[in-house]
Amino acid sequence: MRIDVQDLVLRYDTVTALDGLTFGLAGGKIYGLLGRNGSGKTSLLSILAAFRRQTAGSVRVDGRPVFENGAVTSRISLIRESGEAVDIGTAEEALSYAEWLRPDWDGDYARELMETFRIEPKKNVRSMSRGQRSAMGVVVGLASRAPLTMFDETYLGMDVPARRAFYDALLADYMAHPRTIIISTHLIEEVSPLFEEVLIIDRGRLVVHEETDALLSRGTSVTGPAERVETFTEGMTVLATERLGPTASAMVYGEFGEERRKRAAEAGLELGPVAMQDLFVHLTTAEGAR
């Protein structure tokens, strides 16, 4: 499903949660939505799922408005950290409710996922541990097979093996049943290998929207003798510098063409990649690259 957001604004009384967001997602990809706490990620996803109405601007999914449009929202699934609409009786009953809501529901796949995450069908959802409730949300989100599926920190209650199982299941099912998936997360290094494109928002504004490889290509670490590193990076956008004795390492943001790489080699400097999490940290600070 294609998503078009234009001049999106959301205000809570005197607080502006989203401030003029504009972007388009072609759909049929896995998107990463990144931002610090309070950046507006959850507010954005809530509007995309029609849980909340925007203050101004427009949101269209496949060219149609979302809010109070049942034909569109029935094909959108948002699973939030709390597990979303699964707090209903037993696990079996929660799945029955999800099936009633979702026209693309796959019951066999839901039962397969229940076994993967060791969820007891007869167990009351309210009595589950946080990890089980998170897994329950994952089951509902994946088995819904909604053309637009969104996960908002859904898996934070899950332990590492369960999260790995989620990532494997998501990627395998996405390959078998392509759709638009948006994942909001703080576990950037753990989840980022899934992302085809990344959106970063900070204080309600869009900072970055790029293909993952393009974003990562903009970050380069430059390591070598401190004076040479300082001379080489002069005039560049330096996000951070670390120094250990006579050696320094600078994190540079921007295009790094062959000419610069040749100059670095001539200066005896070592170039390396920068992790997405490091780029994110520096792109969402007052001093970060804009």
Q: Is the pLDDT of residue 200 over 80?
A: yes
Dist CA 18 CA 191 (whole Å):
24
Kindly tell me if the per-residue pLDDT of 165 is higher than 90.
yes
Do the beta carbons of residue 83 and residue 129 sit within 8 Å? no
How does the average pLDDT of the chain come out, rounded? Answer: 91
Residue 252 has pLDDT above 70, yes or no: yes
CA gyration radius for the chain?
22
Q: What's the average model confidence in pLDDT over 132-158?
A: 91
What is the 8-class DSSP label of residue 124?
Answer: B
Rounded Cα–Cα distance for residues 105 and 81 (Å): 21
Share of the chain above pLDDT 90, in %: 71
- Across the range 216-230, mean pLDDT stands at 93
> pLDDT value at position 80?
86
Instruction: Give 115's pLDDT tier (boundaries 50, 70, 90).
Output: very high
Give the pLDDT score at 127: 86
Q: Does residue 7 surpass a pLDDT of 60?
A: yes
**pLDDT number for residue 288:** 45
Do residues 55 and 8 make contact, with C-beta atoms less than 8 angstroms apart? Answer: no
pLDDT at residue 287 is higher than 50: no
* pLDDT tens-digit map of 44-101: 999 999 999 999 999 999 999 999 898 999 999 999 876 554 567 899 998 998 898 8
pLDDT for res 233: 93
Domains defined along the chain, listed by start: 3-210 (3.40.50.300), 218-283 (3.30.70.2020)
pLDDT reported for residue 290: 40
Q: Summarize the confidence of residues 161-188 as an average pLDDT.
A: 95
Q: Is the pLDDT of residue 273 over 80?
A: yes
Q: What is the pLDDT of residue 110?
A: 95
Mean pLDDT to the nearest integer, 224-237: 93
Distance of CA 104 to the CA centre of its chain: 23
Question: What pLDDT is recorded for position 62?
Answer: 93
Residue with token string 């009633």: 100
pLDDT for the residue 84: 52
Question: In the prediction, which pLDDT does 289 show?
Answer: 42
Question: What pLDDT, on a 0 to 100 scale, did the predictor assign at position 246?
Answer: 94
Q: Which of 187, 184, 177 is nearest to 198 (CA)?
A: 184
Q: Measure CA 55 to chain center.
A: 23
